[in-house]
A and B are shown apart, each in its own frame.
Chain A
């Protein structure tokens, strides 16, 4: 500095040459800086546009292209005659994306001025928000009216993050009818997501919001669902779709055609009226389920767009337990409906001949205990036919003793007692087929011969689902050919050009002696002609084999709450009835159970009669099957034997 300044000081005169040179020097320095700076920029461009090009190209494409899933239309569910049980309809919903709304409550309040929003809608919305963690839009109102849609659309600019969407909703046009068969759908939860994950369906469920929660909707979820389509959409920075680039359409879900006959189902449910219970009717020639009832039912439509908490509580807290599928998950002692199987077992195992008769004194002494028959004084001379027709306990007390528990269990297992039938529904109970091995495993105790006595009349540890009982009846009706019970006859209705019949060939044949089966069949026909079922089947124009039963044991765990007014009814016996018809060439086999219905002959058999009349004759009766009054002379025995171990049994 000093030299420069000194230079300037020393000369009072300008030195243009020197000055100009210095100025040019400075310009050269500046130019050098400029060149270096531009060099840096050029290097930066080369770096971004050549070296990192692939990375930024991908980033730009990710920015640009969004894959929008197109949710497929869920498959329909049809009965065997093509009656629609589950379908879809399109409706407008008002949806909020919570992540885009800073103040949800205020937003909903504001929306409520345009669109009717009830407190229950708000509650449901809150529940949905708790259930879903991802930042998707959630419905605040479903099924908007056209007027509401118009009102909202006119004010849309005021509500960022709120949109009207057209969505397909599941609908069950039959209401509560066959509700336990159909089940219901609900929004996908974390548990469902886990299931989707294990089924490797995650990609296919990207646009899906509902999932089958029970019944066929659950079992056939991945069939009904269909294939999600995708639309490649070019989106702008605001996430708005600018244009569609490519589209692979969704493939609608496959329809299900059931073996179920909805009319028959309706007859059955009407016949139950207000009573609780279950019924399963099976085509013995195929295993196809013609009707499956669990009463009371529920309205699956309630669940479609998220059930409101009040209805949910009502369904769950009802002492009638409408959400339990009794046909599949209720395990009941079969009572006297077990006897035809016992008799058949005796014939097959050579323990009895049809003609072999006992003299029934009205009780059976065993191990210091007196097992009583329900008819005071006994039935007199009883052969196999009479034992079934009149439901003689004493005959089976001795028979059970002669056969032994493990022979009984071995024989009964062939009919599917004590194991899941394999019906195409989830969560089937296996029931209890008692045996010495079972008891050892279950209670770590040896089997007592006295316990066999009550098992022989369908009591004791015996506990079967109505599905198992109906399956066993169907197997008996087909002469020992075991078909897997099933609800779905055909996957695909032909509507979508795809139709796959579900194979239901005989899984196996038990190998029963046809003559033995004939003995039982004849005796069961006798039941309805001259025995315990005669009153219910008076004047029947077709031949029908049947057996009544009554079970005292409370099979289902009832709500523990003590409700005084209900106690008496709840402690009443369960009424049972099994049947198949026409007896010589069965087209239908069924098992009916009326909880706390009293005698099987009185409350269960009339339901069966209505079903069979409708199915075989096409006769429709509108009135619920009335209870038949049982005359005084019918057995009204004191409960059970003196034996405390065996639950008391009384036979019709």
Chain B
């Protein structure tokens, strides 16, 4: 009975990918349980989030890639319109305009763009596949720039960066010439001072704090200082599950969301941290394998960029918690508490599963 149910839920899906994601989820549940010991409702909430996210993943996995492709343009257009709406009518919260009221609930349209942008670009390249020119890359860049600029202006630098990365991966995998990329990189580097002047105060402070956390130990530096203390004090083997003092005495801010890795690293030590990195590496390798075996331009680009988004999430978050990157509001994929992020991530997994599952069935 149960095995039949499990079979239904997993039939036709890629075993290795499911196992990797399952392990990550297990690690995430352990960490969320520890981080929310004082608020057990959160843990149940996260279980529910995972169930919902898994359901989304399962459904997406059933959709054939051509059908997915049909979503690309409408989703992108709706997303951009919503971003415009946010800029005009959005709610201001903590100095940023990110949320939009849609009757019964409020949504964060920038979240949609994390999937909509790679979907759109992959679809676009698929359309231009036969006659791909430099101009097409320019159009793709424009398609990417519109939502990124809208999100930057909210301002939400973290999400903008993730969307930018997702779009860039598509363009990169589509084969943009190295020379152009090199030229872009040089231009970007040269324009850094200009970007600096455009940054908000809190964003500049985050960058400065990263360079010297001790300069503001009670303010912005507190997050980094306390999370590195948590990580470092974990040692080789960790303090043991539920025994992290930094966690349970509430020294780690945002410990069940963006800083959950500090909880994990404190309680499971270097061994746990490296295992987690290996799991992410495995996830990425598996994702890239699926991309590599994907039959069409669209599926290749989509699978590749989705996989690299996972990498970006993981790298930015882990880098932030361990004090290598500035504090950017990026959750640790599959681990951090939070429904929206989980659904987005599992949507990505669902896309990978769908691409993998239907690769043989797509007519050449």
- Looking across the interface, which residue of chain B has its beta carbon closest to that of A13? B130
B-contacting residues, A8-50, CB 8 Å: 8-9, 12, 14, 19, 22-24, 26-27, 30-31, 34-35, 37-38, 40-42, 44-46, 48-50
From the candidates A1, A22, A50, A237, name the one contacting B235 in the complex (CB within 8 A).
A50
Within 8 A of A (CB), among B300-349: 300, 304, 308, 311, 315, 318-319, 322-324
Q: Indicate if B48 sits at the interface (CB-CB under 8 A).
A: no
- Where chain A touches its partner, the secondary structure class is helix
Q: Are B177 and A27 in contact (CB under 8 A)?
A: no
Instruction: Assess the A4–B251 pair: CB atoms within 8 A.
Output: no
Q: Taking the complex as formed, is A503 at the interface, i.e. its CB lies under 8 A from any CB of chain B?
A: no
A149 at interface (Cβ–Cβ under 8 A)? Answer: no
Asked if A631 is an interface residue, CB under 8 A from chain B, the answer is no
Closest Cβ of chain B to A480, distance in Å, is 71
Asked whether any CB of chain B lies closer than 8 Å to the CB of A53, the reply is yes
1/0 per residue, CB under 8 A from B, across A280-292: the answer is 0000000000000
**A357 within 8 Å of B (CB atoms):** no
A496 to chain B, nearest CB (A): 37
Chain B residues with CB below 8 A from A238, complex form: 250
The 7 nearest A-B residue pairs measured at CB: A56-B232, A60-B233, A1-B177, A48-B232, A49-B270, A236-B249, A1-B179
* Residues on A with beta carbons closer than 8 Å to the beta carbon of B172: 26, 30
A1–B285 touching, CB < 8 Å: no
Report if A566 contacts B (CB, 8 A).
no
B273, CB-defined interface residue at 8 Å: yes
The verdict on A568 contacting chain B, using a C-beta distance below 8 Å, is no
Q: B162 on the interface (CB 8 Å rule)?
A: no
Is B269 interfacial (CB 8 A cutoff)? yes
Q: Are A237 and B232 in contact (CB under 8 A)?
A: no
Q: Judging by beta carbons under 8 Å apart, are B232 and A52 in contact?
A: yes
- Asked if A352 is an interface residue, CB under 8 A from chain B, the answer is no
Q: Taking each of B232, B236, B300, B319, which has the highest tally of chain A beta carbons within 10 Å of its own beta carbon? A: B232
Shortest CB–CB separation between residue A85 and chain B, in angstroms? 46
Min CB distance A8 to B, Å, is 6
Q: Are B229 and A41 in contact (CB under 8 A)?
A: no
CA distance A38 to B230 in the complex (A): 20
Docked complex Cα distance between A237 and B222 (Å): 11
Whether A27 and B288, one on each chain, are in contact in the complex, defined by CB atoms closer than 8 angstroms, is yes
A68 → chain B, closest Cβ, in Å? 15
Which residues of chain B are within 8 angstroms of A123 by Cβ–Cβ distance? none
Contacts of B281 in A (CB 8 A): 34-35, 38
Interface residues, chain A, with chain B CB atoms under 8 Å away = 1, 4-5, 8-9, 12, 14, 19, 22-24, 26-27, 30-31, 34-35, 37-38, 40-42, 44-46, 48-50, 52-53, 55-57, 59-61, 63-64, 234-238, 242
Given A45-B270, A236-B251, A30–B232 Cβ distance below 8 Å? no
Assess whether B173 is in contact with A26, with CB atoms less than 8 Å apart: yes
Evaluate contact between A49 and B273: CB separation under 8 angstroms: yes
Considering the chains assembled together, what is the distance between the CA atoms of A23 and B293 in angstroms?
10
Contact of A5 with B133 in the complex, beta carbons under 8 Å: yes
Q: List 25 A-B contacts (CB under 8 A).
A: A1-B177, A4-B177, A8-B133, A12-B131, A23-B173, A23-B175, A23-B292, A23-B304, A26-B172, A26-B175, A27-B304, A31-B284, A40-B324, A44-B319, A44-B323, A48-B232, A49-B235, A49-B265, A49-B270, A50-B236, A56-B232, A56-B233, A63-B246, A236-B250, A237-B249
B232/A42 in contact, CB under 8 A: no
Complex Cα gap A44–B325 (Å)? 11
- CB proximity of A282 to chain B, nearest CB, Å: 61
Could you tell me the distance in whole angstroms from the C-beta of B226 to the nearest C-beta in chain A?
A: 8
- Kindly list chain A residues whose C-beta atoms are within 8 Å of the C-beta of B199: none
For residue B252, which residue of chain A has the nearest CB? A237
Say how far B239's CB is from chain A's closest CB, in angstroms: 9
